[in-house]
Amino acid sequence: MIDKNLEKIAFDVYTTGFDIHQKYGPGLLKKIYALLLCNRLRKMGYFVETERFISFEDDGILYPNSLRADMVINNCFAAELKSIECMHPLFLNNY
């Protein structure tokens, strides 16, 4: 079962991102979409970090700062942003 807090964050990130896309459409740089989303999420009361490095461990081996998330919200939800004109069917395989 999904944690209600994570579910709310996911919903807010998705709907806010969709609202931004509806207002400005495709064509802005990813960085601009990220700035707009970050600002709106902060206004909603979220703690948002951008371009945060993330470490992970596998089989007892630590891989420090191996990943970089576009956004980390409330220190528990990583968001990777994409700025594309249309969804290619290949992208759907990742979801």
- In tens, the pLDDT along 4-52 reads 899 999 999 999 999 998 898 877 888 999 999 999 999 999 999 999 9
- Domain-located, residue 78: yes
Q: Is residue 45 part of a domain?
A: yes
Q: What are 65-90's pLDDT values in tens digits?
A: 999 999 999 999 999 887 766 666 76
Q: Is residue 94 part of a domain?
A: no
Residue 22 lies in a domain: yes
Q: In which domain, by residue range, is 71 found? A: 4-84
Sign of CA dihedral 7, 45, 23, 86: negative
Q: Where would I find the H helices in the chain? A: 4-24, 30-43, 89-92
Domain count, the chain: 1
Answer whether 34's CB lies under 8 Å from 13's CB: no
Residue 66 lies in a domain: yes
Residue 53 placed within a domain = yes
